[in-house]
Amino acid sequence: MLKKKTFFTVGLFVLIGIAGGIALIVWLGASQYLKKGKIYATYFDESVQGLQIDSNVKFRGVNIGMVDQIKVAPDYRLIEVVMKINYAGNLDDTIAKLKTAGITGIVYVELDHRKPGDIANSPKISFTPKYPVIPSNPSDIKQIFSGIDSVIEQIKQIDFKGISDQLKMTTTSINTFVSGDEMKRIIKNLDTMMANLESTAGKLNKVISDGRVDDILDDTRESIIEAKAVIKKIKAEVNALNLAETSDRANQLIENASRKTKRITTELEITSENLRRTTENMDQLVDRLKADPSEIIFSSPPAKKR
């Protein structure tokens, strides 16, 4: 009797466990259909590796649904991702993109507002979709690799061989010119010109060091002083005589003497300044030629004087 009672208890627990398992399976399966939301589809022209059924669908990081189906689109080119989304807002102006959650490799679908140019980057659909379509954009990783491929293609289009040949020809031409007779003649002319410049600079320095310019200026100053003294004396005599005619002649003489004196003084000052500037320019030119003789060949000619 006790043995039959034990069998009955064990069998009852087994039946209860089986019934509970079936109820759990039914509840889990039915929960997918009982969930609120609307079905949308999006199509990707890239690999969806890492995206799974029940993967999250997020709107700016907030879960609003999950992936319901992943399959190849009717055109056998795109990947169709069917999503069940519970979102009260308007999804007509959104764009879908694949995102990776950190370094785990788990991929989810991210929705965001459209930006100018997003529709142009969305894959073209050549068939009639079964569900409302949310356009998609390439993932960030695909955009990066697309940019790299574009750069590689541009690099391939560069004619490196032609550039190398041109550089070789240019180098050969430069070597031929440098080692040719024309360059030797130019260098010889430069040596002659430098020697002439040094000789001229030496002569100018000698004139300045001998004090000839200073002597001229001193003589001029003495002449001006003497002229002023004569003018002063003539004025005194004219005032003493008090003669109109003599006064007029004296005034004319004074004015002529003053004009001549001013002109001589101005010309001497200009001459002195020109000599000083010429000496400085000659020194600078000699220094530049010593430092860089090639400058006189490759530099631009001086502007014409008006």
Full pLDDT tens readout for the chain, 306 residues: 555 567 667 677 777 878 787 877 766 654 555 456 799 999 999 988 889 998 999 999 899 999 999 999 999 999 999 999 998 888 888 999 999 887 767 899 999 999 888 888 899 999 999 999 999 999 887 777 777 877 777 777 777 777 777 887 887 777 776 677 777 777 777 777 777 777 776 666 666 666 555 665 666 677 677 767 767 766 666 555 554 555 566 566 666 666 766 776 777 777 777 777 777 767 676 666 666 665 555 555 555 554
Integer Cα distance of 245 and 235 in angstroms:
13
pLDDT at residue 227, rounded to an integer: 66
> Chain centroid to CA 238: how far?
82
pLDDT at residue 229, rounded to an integer: 72
Length of the chain (residues): 306
Please, are residues 94 and 59 in contact by the beta-carbon 8 Å criterion? yes
Integer Cα distance of 105 and 218 in angstroms:
97
Nearest to 269 by CA among 261, 258, 259, 280: 261
Integer Cα distance of 58 and 264 in angstroms:
97
Which pTM does this prediction carry?
Answer: 0.43
pLDDT at residue 186, rounded to an integer: 74
pLDDT at residue 80, rounded to an integer: 94
pLDDT at residue 175, rounded to an integer: 76
Looking up tokens 């002597």 gives 215
- Bridge partners of 106, per DSSP, are 101
Integer Cα distance of 162 and 155 in angstroms:
14
